[in-house]
Amino acid sequence: MTRRHLAKRLPEDAPPPEPRADGKPFVILVVGVNGTGKTTSTAKFGLWLKNRGHSVLLAAADTFRAAAVEQLERWCERLGLAIVKGNPNADPSSVCYNAHQKAIATHTRFLLCDTAGRIHTRHNLMEELGKIRRTLAKQDATAPHLTLLVVDATTGTNALQQAREFHKASPLDGLIVTKLDGSGKGGIAVTIQHQLGIAPRFLGTGEEPEAFSIFQKEPFIREIL
């Protein structure tokens, strides 16, 4: 595919998320299947926001995989980020609710909810995302304000089906494309944007905490080609 075709298929760069004018938390829901780098991406995103001068709180809502909560806790300790977690096997919606409540009370500008990795073919797990959204809306009818699907750049066409099913269960605002430092070039992000209108918003480019950036069309095209 030529540079001109790619440029036509990809959207213009979206502005970074900014704190809300009313002072309420900007709520971000991070979703995806297991193994895409979802929890790591959530932590890196938190650092990215913190480095821009914003207060950040993370909700460890992947309660079915104990290692996920521990993983996010370790990241938060390492990066100096605040975290809310529940008991093992706690209802993920309740963890998000409590975290949202704390974010409101402490005037935290951004709340990132790390949800459990789920196979897009499991109807009950996909339904749970709808419950999390409804729970967040109880304290703020406009929440969540950004829902991002984490996709592995090395996955290929299966990521398109993932995006399609997640979009049905929990309307997506964009993608976090991970593992761009590996064999994947991120072409699947172009396909998802072209077929579903869901644009890449952030990129994971390595193991280090700072290896996370906002999507920019021209550098992305150069990398693909």
Dump pLDDT digits (tens) for 169-188: 899 999 999 988 766 578 88
Give the pLDDT confidence score for residue 96 in this predicted structure.
97
Give the pLDDT confidence score for residue 3 in this predicted structure.
80
Using pLDDT thresholds of 50, 70 and 90, give the confidence band for residue 1: low
Task: Flag the least confident range among 16-25, 27-36, 87-96, 176-185.
Answer: 176-185
Residue count of the chain, please give it: 225
Using pLDDT thresholds of 50, 70 and 90, give the confidence band for residue 225: confident
Give the pLDDT confidence score for residue 184 in this predicted structure.
58
Give the pLDDT confidence score for residue 79 in this predicted structure.
97
Q: Which strands, in side-by-side order, build the sheet including 26-31?
A: 82-85, 56-61, 110-115, 26-31, 146-152, 174-178, 200-204, 212-214
Using pLDDT thresholds of 50, 70 and 90, give the confidence band for residue 26: very high
Give the pLDDT confidence score for residue 120 in this predicted structure.
63
Q: What is the mean pLDDT of residues 76-100?
A: 94
Give the pLDDT confidence score for residue 146 in this predicted structure.
98
Neighbours of 83 (CB within 10 A): 20
Structural domains of the chain sorted by starting position, each given as residue range(s) with its CATH number in brackets? 24-224 (3.40.50.300)
Q: Which residues pair with 203 in a beta bridge?
A: 177, 213
Average pLDDT, the chain: 91
Q: Say yes or no to pLDDT of 9 above 90.
A: no
CA dist., res. 49 & res. 210, Å (int): 11
Q: Match 């709340």 to its residue by tokens.
A: 111
Distances (CA, A) of 87 to 7, 35, 70, 83, 188: 47, 23, 12, 13, 37
